[in-house]
């Protein structure tokens, strides 16, 4: 039998992984997932589910909802991606990662069946998560889509609630070139009779959501119409107010359904302790106080309209050092145009085939008037920033989930 490390190596190398190789690993359609689900006996039918799609804010929304449901006394499964340091971050029950033994046993037990199917990494991971939640007898599982919605592997579930956080231009090579096309893909998670909370609408996306909801027979709930006070949670950042409005609208919708006895105390407690309860990381996360060191996984223009504004405010008050890199399928020029001109930059690249070489990032940045040096690894770039920063300065690391992942992995040696 393979060890846990060998099993992870097998998963990372033998199944196409979008995080590493990009579009070549994307398998649209549900046939493989449905075959895996049939083989496992449809485990997701043994518990309730909540399905979350959208361009930005999915992870924060999923983790905060899971925290609230935990505080309401429920046993909660949580399936999210990508992981930052440890593969098992993707599959949790009440904030605890699935065990190494489970990962090894799942692959060993089902390998003869799934190898001929040649599933993608995400298809296999989805099946692993759905089976795990059944084994652990969860009351409800919060399930984040991987990419899109309509053809996403997770779209085999029949949820109690669907959530679409927002729509912006991302993965345009796979999901569509316009906001309306992307919205249509995300709206593919709508199910007949299942309420769908939409966190944020635009003139281009609202007609798509309304038309899909009418066609499917799905009650549409707009978070923008939420009237109550938006609570301040543990998660910080300008984008979190809109996320919180989405989350609170989702909770209010759940409270109208059977089996969701969620008290105001559970809501407040879950929001206040989301990181502790679920292990969420990488969302305007403080890594050190002296110098103030922050990281964030925001990686597209939709996220950077908030991150850029926040960093410009910091740059106006203190010397700011930014460790930055992106991957090749993102709109780097638009994001670079949102970065503060006065910061000192440390251009780098994540350990991924999709990463834009640091030299190319540097060349593009120069065209935006951004000055800095290049570093071969995130670890080297961060070390240089720490060496240059005074105690009263601020260091920010971001631009990509994989930049943050490399940083956290270098700080916390784990597999």
Q: What is the CATH number for 299?
A: 3.90.190.20
3-state SS assignment for residue 48: strand
Determine the distance from the C-alpha atom of residue 313 to the mean position of all C-alpha atoms in its chain, rounded to a whole number.
25
Confidence label for 231 from pLDDT (cuts 50, 70 and 90): low
Q: What is the CATH number for 178?
A: 3.40.1190.10
Claim to verify: residue 125 and residue 191 sit in the same structural domain: yes
Angle at 337 between CA 330 and CA 304, to 5 degrees: 60
Claim to verify: residue 157 and residue 272 sit in the same structural domain: yes
If residue 413 lies in a helix (H) or strand (E), which one and from where to where? Answer: none
Q: DSSP assignment of 342-404, as one string?
A: TSEEEE---SSTTBPPHHHHHHHHHTTT--EEE-SSHHHHHHHHHHH--TT-EEEEESSHHHH
Angle at 273 between CA 47 and CA 132, to 5 degrees: 25
Where helices occur in 206-300 by DSSP H, the ranges are: 206-216, 240-254, 264-272, 274-278
State residue 18's pLDDT score. 44
Confidence label for 322 from pLDDT (cuts 50, 70 and 90): very high
State residue 415's pLDDT score. 33
Residue that finishes a domain, picked among 246, 263, 278: 278
If residue 288 lies in a helix (H) or strand (E), which one and from where to where? Answer: strand 285-289
Claim to verify: residue 210 and residue 122 sit in the same structural domain: yes
Claim to verify: residue 234 and residue 289 sit in the same structural domain: no
If residue 151 lies in a helix (H) or strand (E), which one and from where to where? Answer: none
- Full residue range of the structural domain in which residue 290 is found: 285-411
Claim to verify: residue 217 and residue 104 sit in the same structural domain: yes
- Mean pLDDT along residues 92-96: 97
Claim to verify: residue 188 and residue 308 sit in the same structural domain: no
State residue 28's pLDDT score. 65
Claim to verify: residue 315 and residue 397 sit in the same structural domain: yes
Summarised one tens digit per residue, pLDDT across range 155-187 is 999 999 999 999 887 655 667 679 999 999 999
pTM equals 0.88
β-pairing verdict for 91-93 and 96-97: antiparallel
Claim to verify: residue 249 and residue 387 sit in the same structural domain: no
- Mean pLDDT along residues 355-359: 95
Residue that finishes a domain, picked among 278, 309, 329: 278
Return the closest-CA partner of residue 361 out of 343, 393, 395, 335.
335
State residue 13's pLDDT score. 86
Angle at 69 between CA 66 and CA 71, to 5 degrees: 110
3-state SS assignment for residue 87: helix
Q: DSSP assignment of 198-210, as one string?
A: ES---TTTHHHHH
State residue 374's pLDDT score. 97
**Cis? peptide before 263, omega within 30° of 0:** no
Separation CA 339–CA 293 (nearest Å)? 17
Number of domains comprising the chain: 2
To the nearest whole number, what is the mean pLDDT of the chain? Answer: 91
Confidence label for 308 from pLDDT (cuts 50, 70 and 90): very high
State residue 237's pLDDT score. 52
- Mean pLDDT along residues 32-41: 97
3-state SS assignment for residue 83: coil
Claim to verify: residue 349 and residue 268 sit in the same structural domain: no
* CB contact burial 23-48 (16+ within 10 A = b; e otherwise): eebbbeebebbebbbeebeebbeebb
Separation CA 196–CA 188 (nearest Å)? 11
Separation CA 229–CA 268 (nearest Å)? 12
Beginning with the edge strand found earlier in the chain, give each strand of the sheet holding 372-374 in spatial order: 285-289, 292-296, 394-398, 320-324, 344-347, 372-374
Rounded to 10°, the helix 100-114/31-40 angle is 110
- Mean pLDDT along residues 8-36: 74
Separation CA 105–CA 229 (nearest Å)? 47
Claim to verify: residue 271 and residue 332 sit in the same structural domain: no
Confidence label for 68 from pLDDT (cuts 50, 70 and 90): very high
Q: How far is CA 248 from CA 57, 113, 227, 270, 402, in A?
A: 14, 42, 10, 11, 30
- Mean pLDDT along residues 19-36: 71
Residues 6+ positions from 171 with CB-CB distance below 8 Å = 147, 148, 182, 329
Residue that finishes a domain, picked among 247, 278, 309: 278
Percent of the chain with pLDDT over 70: 92
Summarised one tens digit per residue, pLDDT across range 120-154 is 999 999 999 999 999 999 999 999 999 889 999 99
Claim to verify: residue 219 and residue 296 sit in the same structural domain: no
Claim to verify: residue 109 and residue 212 sit in the same structural domain: yes
């Amino acid at each position: 039998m393979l060890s846990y490390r060998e099993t992870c190596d097998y998963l990372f190398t033998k199944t196409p992984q979008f995080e590493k190789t990009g579009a070549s690993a994307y398998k649209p359609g549900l046939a493989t997932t449905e075959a895996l689900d049939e083989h496992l006996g449809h485990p997701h039918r043994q518990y309730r589910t909540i399905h979350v799609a959208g361009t930005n804010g999915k992870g924060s929304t999923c983790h905060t909802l899971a925290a609230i449901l935990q505080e309401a006394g429920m046993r909660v499964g949580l399936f999210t991606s990508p992981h930052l340091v440890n593969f098992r971050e993707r599959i949790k029950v009440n904030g605890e990662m699935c065990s190494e033994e489970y990962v090894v046993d799942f692959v060993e037990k089902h390998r003869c069946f799934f190898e001929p199917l040649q599933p993608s990494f995400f298809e296999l991971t989805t099946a692993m998560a759905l089976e795990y939640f059944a084994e652990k007898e969860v009351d409800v599982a919060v399930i984040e889509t991987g990419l899109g919605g309509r053809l996403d592997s997770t779209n085999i579930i029949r949820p109690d609630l669907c959530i679409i956080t927002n729509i912006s231009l991302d993965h345009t090579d796979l999901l569509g070139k316009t906001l309306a096309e992307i919205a249509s893909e995300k709206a593919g998670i709508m199910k007949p009779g299942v309420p769908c909370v939409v966190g944020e609408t635009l003139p281009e996306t609202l007609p798509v959501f309304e038309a899909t909801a009418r066609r499917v027979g799905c009650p549409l709930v707009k978070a923008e119409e939420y009237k109550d006070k938006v609570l301040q949670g543990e998660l910080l950042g300008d984008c979190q107010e809109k996320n919180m409005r989405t989350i609170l609208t989702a909770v209010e919708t759940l409270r109208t359904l059977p089996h969701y006895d969620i008290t105001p105390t559970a809501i407040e407690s879950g929001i206040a302790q989301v990181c502790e309860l679920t292990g969420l990381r990488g969302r305007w996360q403080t890594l050190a106080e002296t110098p103030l060191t922050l990281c964030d996984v925001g990686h597209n223009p939709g996220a950077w309209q908030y991150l850029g504004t926040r960093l410009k405010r910091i740059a106006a008050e203190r010397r700011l050092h930014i460790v930055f890199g992106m991957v090749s399928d993102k709109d780097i020029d638009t994001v670079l145009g949102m970065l503060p001109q006065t910061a000192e930059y440390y251009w780098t690249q994540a350990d991924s085939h999709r990463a834009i070489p640091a030299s190319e990032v540097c060349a593009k940045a120069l065209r935006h008037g951004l000055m800095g040096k290049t570093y071969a690894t995130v670890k080297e770039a961060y070390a240089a920033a720490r060496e240059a920063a005074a105690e009263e300065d601020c260091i920010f690391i971001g631009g990509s989930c994989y930049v943050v992942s490399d940083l956290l992995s270098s700080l916390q040696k784990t597999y």
